Amino acid sequence: MSTVSLYEVSPRDGLQNEAAVLPTEAKAELIGRLVGAGVKDIEVTSFVRPRWIPQLSDAAELVRMLPRVEGVRYWALVPNRVGLERAMESGIRHVATFLSASETHNTKNVNRTVRESLASVEEVIGVARDDGIEVRSYISTVFGCPYEGDVPVENTLRIIERLMAAGAQRISLGDTTGMANPRQVREVIARVVAEGLPVESIAVHMHDTRGTALANALAAYELGVRQVDGSVGGMGGCPYAPGASGNAASEDMVFTFEAMGIDTGIDLEALAEAGCYAETLLGRELPGRFHLYWKGAHARAAKARTA
């Protein structure tokens, strides 16, 4: 049977891009519900300097609160060596690094050139791998940059070569502001694979800013990619366009893959319930399409019962 795995980013990428600051217990509860739905890879927080992202300033406390479950991997984003060390102290054994394929985006995001970020990320990967920690590396703006427009695939290829040489085990290709289209996704992935990156090492991180996340994720799947990043309910807006959709909604992808006979290992109803829980916590309606459908169907069912 064909399979695809979901890498759930809502507790980190979702919350980082939401205004609400949630209590640590609520985050742990959300993560517990995601685990209950069958999600095996969850990016739970980020070890950036607490004052940079107040929503995630409880990183170490949260990690210590999480239940250890066989087969479940909790990932943390680490910006640099100091962040990696804090993550390791908390007990994290899976880390994600990040940098951008576009110079302007990278500079605006972390106030460093791509070259400077690469050196820092290589150091993080080396230290982590020496300690037996698993590493996934995000590359942002692979399919377009909000400042520069088109991003040459050569930028991505150069970065991938360095990340793999340093020991990164998976590369997540990011469509950071939802600019990609399925044809471009096919072209970029085909090129990256042709240049030597095994397709098993690729994940895609699509954004639904313009409604293309699901189509792009499916295009990646068709080329052999077997891990997709998603955020329950589509949690996490787009930082460049207030009110716009951001992360690909996990339920939309799980529904579609399962409907196509591709096993995700996830209980869609339980995942949808986790999305509704997240929405209650945030106090704003989440944009995921399956999420909205699910809520509507339940509201109608409840109305029918009381009528």
Footprint of Mg ion (CB under 5 A): 13, 247
Q: What is 82-141 written as a DSSP string?
A: HHHHHHHHHT--EEEEEEESSHHHHHHHHSS-HHHHHHHHHHHHHHHHHTT-EEEEEEES
Least distance CB 244 / Mg ion (angstroms): 12
Contact 45, 12 (CB under 8 A): yes
User: Is the Cβ of residue 15 or residue 192 nearer to Mg ion in the bound state?
Assistant: 15
Comparing every residue's Cβ against Mg ion, the nearest one is 13
Rounded CA-CA distance 67/261 in Å is: 31
Answer yes or no: 238 catalytic.
Answer: yes
Nearer Cβ to Mg ion, position 127 or 247? 247
Place of tokens 């990040």: 98
Smallest gap from Cβ 39 to Mg ion, in A, equals 16
Closer of 27 and 127 to Mg ion (Cβ)? 27
Q: Which is nearer to Mg ion, 61 or 181 (CB)?
A: 181
Residues pairing with 263 in the sheet: 3
Q: How far is the CB of 118 from Mg ion (least distance, A)?
A: 21
- The active-site residue out of 173, 238, 271, 274 is 238
Measured from the CB of residue 132, what is the shortest distance to Mg ion in angstroms? 27
Amino acid at the residue 237 = G
* C-alpha to C-alpha distances, 117 to 10, 97, 270, nearest whole angstrom: 24, 10, 38
Residues labelled as active-site residues: 238
